[in-house]
Structure 1
Amino acid sequence: MTDTLKPYRIPQLEGGHRPGSDAIFNSHSKDDILSALKEWDSQRILLVHSKALAKNTSVISDLKDALGDSLITAKEGVGSHSPYSDVIDIAHRITEHKIDCVISVGSGSYSDACKVARLMSATLPVGFGEKDMEGLLDQEKGVAPQDKMKKAEGVRLILVPTSLSAGEWNHTASCTNSAGKKQHFSLEDGGAPDLILMDPWVARTSPEKLWLSSGIRAVDHCIETLCNPECAKYPDVQEWCEKALRDLAKGLVEYKEGLGRGKEGEDELVHGVSKCQAGSRMALMGFIIYRVNMGASHAIGHQLGSVGKVMHGITSCIMLPPVLRYTKVRNPEAQAKIVDVFNGMLGWDETEAGDCVARLVKITGLPSTLKEVGVTSDEQIEQIIDKTMTDVMFSFGKVLTREEVSEIVYSTK
């Protein structure tokens, strides 16, 4: 029974980093939100929430009722990849309504939009626009230097994620400008949320495609961290990523199998969700704590998402297997570990990491080619390749040439 899922509270990050900022797993989010607001004496709330959750469940209406008069304003819906227009709207609401706590209930696009908006509300003048945001950025790297960011004092942030993209754990967030370029904003002290609530009962209402695709995204986090040569310097990072990959592989399969069994599979499904939530956090620890960077799948995926309007996670379904196949001569030991994890957890007998990921994607039923997501023109593909070369995941040290990126991207047509 899912009542065997007991809540537990832990620091957001491993190793004593980010003290005072916690996460609650197996959270009953409405109750935990009310407890936090009481503890902080927050009385002017902005709720940013998923349209689908409001339309298809009572989660949002129940939360609004519980918040009562403290709910000053609510925004329904944020575009995929957190468009600047949504970020600006949220930031203006924070300022105009003197908000003291923002609550986000939704996927990674919601979390990122709220994180950036909170920073912008403190950093930029009242009534700012897209030009002002772009003015903060190092355009070559696609990142705003931290010394240009200001902490939003007195504005708390609670995130209730409904997907596994796991951006909520990072003090960096990304959003997309009107030209379709994904840009990154960051502040080590002030960019992360105050509280993260991992509620498997809310997350289980997420659309199947969103849940599974964001799960593959979390798998991508693990795998590209493990494949980075820097990972070998940090034994704890290897341990975290392998544990995360075990939880995610098992959890995604349990979720899919539980879903297929209908009401009889509900218990398996929710346990699968809970496993995946734990794995999605652990998958990012190496990147957040030690800055062990991810690689080509993320860099290409960022720009495939922005140019091709492809949702988070589907980009990893398409790009991670060919990236692994193309780069296997560079990191054979890491890829062998990845194969061992999949075979050990799922009883497989695969020999290649790229094939393991492709098999998992096939189980989910998600797209694995550009054609399936409507990215068919060479013009679009060339744009993706060009933008990839200045993506933040490459700017920390380009791991592939333009010709190599081109070969990978064209192989997915």
Structure 2
Amino acid sequence: MASDLTGSYAYSDSLKGIHFGPGSTATALPKLLDALGAKKALIVTGRSLFTKTDVVKTVEGILKAHDAYGATFYEIGEHAPVAGIRRGVQAFKDAGADVIVSVGGGSPVDAAKAILHFVQQESGAPAPFKQIAIPTTLSAAEYTMGAGFTDDSGNKVAVASPSLVPAGIILDAQLTLATPERLWLSTGLRALDHAVESLYRPGVPPPLKHLCYAALADLFTYLPLSKAHPEDVSTRQKLQIASWMSIWPMQLEKFVAFGLSHGLGHRLGARYGIPHGITSCLTLAPVVAAKVELGSPQDKEWLANALFYLRKPSTGSVDGDVLELSKSIQQLVNDLGLHSTLSQYNVPKEDVQQIAELAVGKKEDPAFVKTVAILEALYE
């Protein structure tokens, strides 16, 4: 095992540490609890991870050994329905918890943020409670201050605050071995979506854009390797680090949205039951292609330069290189066996214009017609 796949990193008082390495949970979790002064933890996770694997039991055992286990709450469904979050708030109180340890993919991580958000609302001020995230997918929800959950009407709701950013993150590839292949690989495309859209996301400084290029290169390299050799922990650890690079924690005064691929994903995901990783498999490649028409010269240049990091020759033009990047993304999706259509998820064609309007903002927006065309092509 390469030594650079194990270590830790911290950059502010709010982020006590990102610990990484196979088997790192056993030592990192107690360190983070001590750093936070936390005494009792509520584990927030999903039902499948709790009932079908030993991952949660492993975390429970570590907490119990340090007399820090409060309870486990596993009623978190895909897209984090608000009913489950309300029950999570009550579970947090009943356990007398002062920290949440989330275990799983983006839904438990976002649900933990939302639980803390509701606790803050009830107290009338930012509560001193924090989250330690132990992700088992590549969705990278643990690096942001935003959380998405589904309201009672099935609509996606977002909350964001610097106080919701996890105070600790543990990237333990050993705990990802139980993650289903389709979930693991498709959330890798979600990480790719973060990296690509960060190339034109407002507020991302150039040094972090170059980190996104590194993430792109590693995701293109190691996702196929992980599919071919799913038990290779070293490859999985490299993918977790690539996911981290795709959305490196930034100190932002307010949440800044990504781009159209994410916007469409939010509209398609909760309403039609499409996993976030799969929405990225659907939307990222065509959205990148659309940047030829809709993107600024600067945005297109950042996208075109990605070919160099993927070790692909330039086509000789910026627009051609952007289209080549789009084709490369789609080829990766296909090679990973992740090609999907909106027909598979029973998205009514009559909903297309409404989805486009919700994602873009207004029908008068020049991007509206192009967005409709993107969605219509996703039925094939």
Q: How does the TM-score come out when normalised to structure 2? A: 0.86
> Structure 1's 315 and 87: CA in aligned 2 closer, same or farther, altered over 3 A?
same
1:400 Cα deviation after fit: 5.0
> Structure 1's 253 and 86: CA in aligned 2 closer, same or farther, altered over 3 A?
same
Match status 1:22 vs 2:17: yes
SS in 1 for 2:39: coil
Equivalent in 37, 44, 48 of residue 40 of structure 2: 44
2:317 alignment counterpart: none
| Whole-angstrom CA distance in 1 between matches of 2:134 and 2:278 | 22
> Structure 1's 305 and 311: CA in aligned 2 closer, same or farther, altered over 3 A?
same
> Structure 1's 314 and 65: CA in aligned 2 closer, same or farther, altered over 3 A?
same
- Amino acid in structure 2 at the alignment position of 1:218: A
SS in 1 for 2:154: coil
1:179 Cα deviation after fit: 1.8
1:411 alignment counterpart: 377
Equivalent in 289, 308, 312 of residue 325 of structure 1: 289
Q: Map residues 67-82 of structure 1 onto 2, 5 A cutoff.
A: 67-68=63-64, 70-82=68-80
SS in 2 for 1:385: helix
Count residues in correspondence.
363
CA contact (8 A) 1:163 1:210 kept: yes
- Amino acid in structure 1 at the alignment position of 2:335: I
SS in 2 for 1:183: strand
Identity of paired residues, percent?
27
| Whole-angstrom CA distance in 2 between matches of 1:72 and 1:48 | 11
Q: Map residues 243-282 of structure 1 onto 2, 5 A cutoff.
A: 243-259=214-230, 266=231, 269-282=232-245
| Whole-angstrom CA distance in 2 between matches of 1:23 and 1:361 | 29
Which range is displaced more, 48-57 or 198-207?
Answer: 48-57
1:38 Cα deviation after fit: 4.4
> Structure 1's 358 and 173: CA in aligned 2 closer, same or farther, altered over 3 A?
same
Question: Which segments of 5 or more consecutive residues in structure 2 lack a partner in the other structure?
Answer: 314-320
- Amino acid in structure 2 at the alignment position of 1:404: K
CA contact (8 A) 1:42 1:100 kept: yes
- Amino acid in structure 2 at the alignment position of 1:72: G
> Structure 1's 241 and 182: CA in aligned 2 closer, same or farther, altered over 3 A?
same
Which range is displaced more, 174-183 or 53-62?
Answer: 53-62
> Structure 1's 81 and 287: CA in aligned 2 closer, same or farther, altered over 3 A?
farther
CA RMSD between the two structures: 2.8
| Whole-angstrom CA distance in 1 between matches of 2:224 and 2:32 | 34
> Structure 1's 306 and 240: CA in aligned 2 closer, same or farther, altered over 3 A?
same
CA contact (8 A) 1:172 1:184 kept: yes
1:132 alignment counterpart: none
CA contact (8 A) 1:307 1:384 kept: no
Q: How does the TM-score come out when normalised to structure 1? A: 0.80
Question: Which segments of 5 or more consecutive residues in structure 1 lack a partner in the other structure?
Answer: 126-148, 260-265
Match status 1:356 vs 2:324: no
CA contact (8 A) 2:77 2:107 kept: yes
| Whole-angstrom CA distance in 2 between matches of 1:99 and 1:286 | 26
Equivalent in 212, 215, 236 of residue 188 of structure 2: 215
1:39 Cα deviation after fit: 4.9
CA contact (8 A) 1:339 1:356 kept: no
1:289 Cα deviation after fit: 4.8
Equivalent in 59, 65, 80 of residue 61 of structure 2: 65
Match status 1:310 vs 2:241: no
| Whole-angstrom CA distance in 2 between matches of 1:409 and 1:301 | 11
